[in-house]
Amino acid sequence: MQQRKLGPFTVGAIGLGCMNICHAYGQPATFEEAERLLLTALDEGVTHFDTAALYGFGQSETIVGKVLAKHRSKFTLASKCGMGGEPNAEGVKVRVIDGRPEKIKATCDEALQRLQTEVIDLYYLHRWDKKVPVEESVGALADLVRAGKIQSIGLSEVSADTLRKAHAEHPIAALQTEYSLWSRNPEIAVLEACRELGVSFVAFSPVARGFLCGKLDVAAFEAKDIRKPMPRFSAENYPENFKLFEAYAAIAKEVGCTPAQLAIAWLLHQGDDILPIPGTRSVDHLREDLGADGVKLSDDVLARLNGLINQNTVKGDRYPEQANKEVDTERF
């Protein structure tokens, strides 16, 4: 696999997002399925694993720790703080954004235990808690760097302006945001800011939450599937969006790859500072995703893809309104 810089680290260009094994898209994988997936990824040359305290409220970190701790020297480990699970009045854990310095430090200590490691290579602020100045949250992360608990700092779903404020407090190694053919928000300002500051860009949901893989039965999404309230997957918008897929799949056939590989290859062609982290529970899908590394796209194909699927041709916003309020990313 081609190698790219992730902050101070050198990793395989395609990493593995570890959310899907326990969170967000229906039933979680069994431990045995997750173990096979993670070990296969390592065998196939993946050297960038990305998880978070939020995923399964610590379950993803726990699984990654159990499976990969003995192989710790072989990969770069990224995780996230600032968003996790806290019990509500009924004692049920719910998602909470909390960027207070004391919470960030406590979350890191818990993550180190779950991940069975002495240091996290790249630790992101998963969401900017808008009740707390970003400089305070990043200051806490800088304390963790000085304490030797993390090696570098990342940000997730923030704007160019917030990135610059944070970077002035402590150098930011990487910024992570959704980026794909159908989510072009980073192109507004934050990609340019990353390049100005020397910040690596990590692209999550590179296959558009499954849209760029093939036809989805959106009516069959489980209640906890995070796509269920997303406007692009609504009963009104999804059929309109899927009309774009036939021409897209034809381009993939012409190139000689699968639709998922075409989506990831498009991202790899957007700059050598961009690192996609597709997620899956399937070993077959994992191998398919990694195959994008060898897909070469001509300027003509790139131009056709850009004209086919973009912010003007896709129906619906990427998030429902509540989620849009929680993130800090620029919007078209």
53 CA to centre of own chain: 13
Helix axes 101-115, 134-146, angle to 10 degrees: 40
Straight-line distance from the first to the last Cα atom of the chain, in angstroms, rounded to the nearest whole number: 34
Beta bridge partners, 279, equal 17
Rounded to whole angstroms, the Cα distance separating 309 from 328 reads 24
In order of 127, 243, 250, 261, the CA distances from 253 in angstroms are 38, 17, 5, 11
Separation of alpha carbons 283 and 305, rounded Å: 27
Catalytic entry in 25, 55, 124, 179: 55
155 forms bridges with which residues in the sheet? 125, 175
The answer to whether 25 is a known catalytic residue is no
Instruction: Decide: 123 and 144 in contact? Cβ < 8 Å.
Output: yes
Which residues are tagged catalytic? 55
